[in-house]
A and B are shown apart, each in its own frame.
Chain A
């Protein structure tokens, strides 16, 4: 990362070779569209190039840092599609089992061990709502609307789910 911050293109190329497939997978999972994912991936590496000097080794791992950039960029793009992107019927949300779009069918791995175990300890409704929020960047308001459930209730499901996740991960 320090080499990239100093303007070393070969270092960025190395990072690209090591991580672009993973980040492309992340973009596809969120956007389900190759062209858009490619655009977002391009933005992600340009952002890394510009911001490498802001990366703090102590605070987050490189992979967390760049995957967070990729996820946030992809979600920004999803949100920019406008309200239509959120107009899914409630049934669509309920049958969403966190499965992957056709483009990413190569997926085989499970969620990284501990988190996977902890997610599965949540009740199905809470797990689905947390996954939907994470992969679609859906706000509380939009979730409440989709689920036809009061905002406060959705908020309380998620907050309690997050608390359980934290407790479980610390075990």
Chain B
């Protein structure tokens, strides 16, 4: 009995290890994906972060360099969150009365959400139907997928913010809500990739403002049902005008 003591349940041990930071890159990414689809696990991780954050309490404050705030302030506009971005886009739309290019919309949204360096957003081109955009997030609010839909071309661009290789045992399937609890598959989305998908002709009328989009986590091959996910829904969101 010398070296064998009681242990944390496996799931909680993993949550604690993730909060502590001892997992390697692959395990970390897998834990992030799991947090997105497993609320109990995410709550365990948060509780462990809270417990361990006591270690930071011992660190004495050090006045930050005087020039730092002005630098941050200059960068704020380029780093607006989705709300801020939406407001600015609306202002531009008022001026240009058009929709912005599909690629720019997708890239801008992804830049904002994936926390990459800011990108200059191109001026809107006039004469097109309004683009729709959806930010598919977990229940905890973490964005996992960004969808931009161009009704003119009936094409979607889906970008996965899930780290590549995070969950090799599952596939991520994109769904469009059909009403009455039914969903139609739009195809698979690969972790870390951006992909253009045609909107099936018979679904084009469904892809309107307010339409529900969801991504489920499925065994390879996808859901075994034609009218909805078999696995858990990891993220969802609604199409909205940008």
The interface of chain A, by Cβ under 8 A from chain B, is 5-7, 9, 12-13, 16, 20-26, 28-29, 34, 38, 41-42, 45-47, 49-54, 56, 59-61, 63-64, 67-68, 71-72, 75, 100, 103-104, 106-112, 114-116, 119, 130-131, 133-135, 137-141, 143, 156, 158-160, 162-163, 165-166, 169
Contacts and interface: CB of A to CB of B under 8 A. Distances in A.
Contact of B59 (A47, A100, A156, A165): A100
Given A53-B82, A56-B140, 19 more contacts: A5-B83, A7-B83, A7-B87, A25-B60, A26-B56, A28-B62, A38-B64, A50-B79, A52-B81, A59-B46, A71-B56, A106-B60, A130-B20, A133-B22, A139-B22, A139-B23, A141-B24, A156-B3, A160-B5
B57 interface: yes
B61 A21 contact: yes
Question: Which 8 A-B residue pairs are closest in the complex by CB-CB distance?
Answer: A115-B54, A21-B61, A112-B57, A107-B60, A111-B58, A112-B54, A20-B64, A24-B64
Instruction: For chain B, give the interface size range.
Output: 35 or more
Given A47-B115, A160-B5, A60 B55 contact: no
Interface stretch (B67-75, B99-107, B121-129, B196-204): B67-75
B179 interface: no
B62 A103 contact: yes
A47 B48 CA distance: 22
A131 B55 contact: yes
A134 B7 contact: no
Contacts of A71: 56
B142 interface: yes
Contacts of A141: 24
B227 interface: no
B46 A60 contact: yes
A116 B83 contact: no
Nearest to A136: B21
B50 interface: yes
Interface in B28-54: 43, 46, 48-54
A143 B22 CA distance: 9
Nearest to A24: B64
B23 A140 contact: yes
Contacts, number: 174
A166 B51 contact: yes
B97 interface: no
Contacts of B84: 7
Nearest to A43: B115
Contacts of A158: 17, 20, 22
Contacts of B22: 133, 138-140, 143, 158
A104 B62 contact: yes
Contacts of B11: none
A115 B5 CA distance: 21
A13 B7 CA distance: 44
B55 A56 contact: no
Nearest to B141: A54
Given A6-B83, A68-B49, A137-B21, A41 B59 contact: no
A24 B84 CA distance: 27
Contacts of B43: 59
Given A64-B49, A163-B5, A21 B56 contact: no
A21 B64 contact: yes
B168 interface: no
28 contacts: A24-B63, A24-B64, A26-B59, A38-B65, A49-B80, A54-B143, A60-B46, A60-B49, A63-B53, A64-B49, A67-B56, A68-B53, A103-B62, A104-B59, A106-B60, A109-B57, A109-B60, A112-B58, A133-B21, A134-B20, A138-B21, A139-B24, A140-B17, A158-B17, A159-B7, A163-B5, A163-B8, A166-B8
Contacts of A5: 81, 83
